[in-house]
Structure 1
Amino acid sequence: MKVLKQFNIPFVGLTEGIHLFEYNIDNTFFEAFNYDEFENSSLDIKLEFVKKSTLFELTFSALGTVNVPCDSTSEYYDQQITTVLPLVIKFGPEFNDDNEEILILPHEAFQLDVSQFIYEMIVLGQPSRRVHPKVLDGTMESKALEKLKELQLKEEKTVDEPADPRWNKLKNLITEKNT
């Protein structure tokens, strides 16, 4: 993971206070994690690193776009990503990442690799259902959407059919109860 060396933060040499780190992420970053869901990506990551005497407070924020396929049409589009990940780092006898918001590093640690946190923040920052904006506004034209419209269930009940009289009696019960 030679590509990800820039994401190692040697915190031993940092003074107490706020430190800012910025990263530009593209597909080479995701290739290091063998993640190929994005056709293209361009993200700016800002990391606010607050060093205190007994712990660190990290706030990751991502802003940018990833080019992904639409779940309905498989057409690629740029999905906007805006996400924030807060993290507290404490020190203990051994490494522990059981808690999502608190990471425990061993006392002998001298640097922190933030690449995994950035990766998870971006991947989890995507919407669970990816829909092309043209599908939402109805201007998308694709063979997949045409086929879905063709296969869509047609409403079988016509207006001319009389309703079942048993339902009318039940509706009367509801209206009688309300009065």
Structure 2
Amino acid sequence: MKFLQHFDIEVIKYREGAHELEFQVTDRFFDEFEDNDLVNKGNLTVRVKMDKGVNLIEMDFKIQGSVHLTCDRSLEEFDYPLDIEESIIFKYGSEEKEIDENIFMITRDTPSINVAQLIYEFILLAIPAKKIHPDYRNELDEEESEAEGQYVYFDSESEKEEESSNDEPGSIDPRWEKLKKLK
């Protein structure tokens, strides 16, 4: 856990105004998280633009790089590029708590904010649910486009013709007409 202290932003040291910070996310970063099943390796650069005001601190995160994933289809490993932009607001208040997913309350005497967990969550949320190796993405797109037409039983032209014939007064659907003959 000492490694994650590298991701502390000592907000008490900074004056009001804009500040820029940079962090490097490597394999060691992902090793620090116990519940990490999705990402074990990666190389990313995190740039934080911090705007410290009188009543709040606004942080804009720009995360760029790649993470090492395992394909769900072929189990081959591949690098997945990431380009993430997120914003977090820290408001000053009487206690430390999470107000919203993007708004946190901190006390005025909070010496530092550790952004490691935020960065980790941003990375995990940017990973697609279906991790497909780039070599198999084209095959997947073709399969999906072929499967799209499998469940269509009529085309829109015949449907429009039926609707227009049913709208005319006195016209009877030919199917109903044949049923009337059975009487």
In the superposition, the TM-score normalised over structure 2's length comes to: 0.75
- Tell me, yes or no, if structure 1 residue 120 matches structure 2 residue 109: no
- Cα distance, 1:174 vs. partner? 3.8
Q: Which has the larger radius of gyration?
A: 2
The CA distance in 1 between the partners of 2:134 and 2:166, in whole Å, is: 46
Q: Within 5 A, what are the aligned runs for 1:7-156?
A: 7-34=7-34, 35-138=36-139
- Cα distance, 1:113 vs. partner? 0.8
- Cα distance, 1:23 vs. partner? 0.9
Q: Deviations over 1:2-50 (max 9, x none)?
A: 0011111111111111111111111111111122422421111110111
Q: 5+ unaligned residues in a row in structure 2: which ranges?
A: 141-149, 151-158, 169-183
RMSD across aligned positions (CA): 2.7
The CA distance in 1 between the partners of 2:126 and 2:160, in whole Å, is: 47
The CA distance in 1 between the partners of 2:97 and 2:110, in whole Å, is: 13
The CA distance in 2 between the partners of 1:171 and 1:103, in whole Å, is: 55
Structure richer in helix, relative to its length: 2
- Cα distance, 1:103 vs. partner? 0.6
Identity of aligned residues (%): 27
CA, structure 1 residues 171+59, in 2 after alignment: closer, same or farther (shift >3 Å)?
A: closer
The CA distance in 2 between the partners of 1:45 and 1:171, in whole Å, is: 55
1:67·1:79 contact (CA, 8 Å) conserved in 2?
A: yes
In the superposition, the TM-score normalised over structure 1's length comes to: 0.76
Could you say which residue in structure 1 is the equivalent of 2:165? 176
Paired amino acid for 1:136: R
CA, structure 1 residues 175+131, in 2 after alignment: closer, same or farther (shift >3 Å)?
A: farther
CA, structure 1 residues 171+113, in 2 after alignment: closer, same or farther (shift >3 Å)?
A: closer
Could you say which residue in structure 2 is the equivalent of 1:3? 3
The CA distance in 1 between the partners of 2:117 and 2:39, in whole Å, is: 17
1:22·1:47 contact (CA, 8 Å) conserved in 2?
A: yes
CA, structure 1 residues 6+135, in 2 after alignment: closer, same or farther (shift >3 Å)?
A: same
Runs of 4+ in 1 over 4 A off after TM superposition: none
Q: 5+ unaligned residues in a row in structure 1: which ranges?
A: 140-154, 156-169
- Cα distance, 1:100 vs. partner? 0.8
Count how many residue pairs are aligned between Structure 1 and Structure 2.
154
Specify the SS of the correspondent of 2:15: coil
1:94·1:107 contact (CA, 8 Å) conserved in 2?
A: no
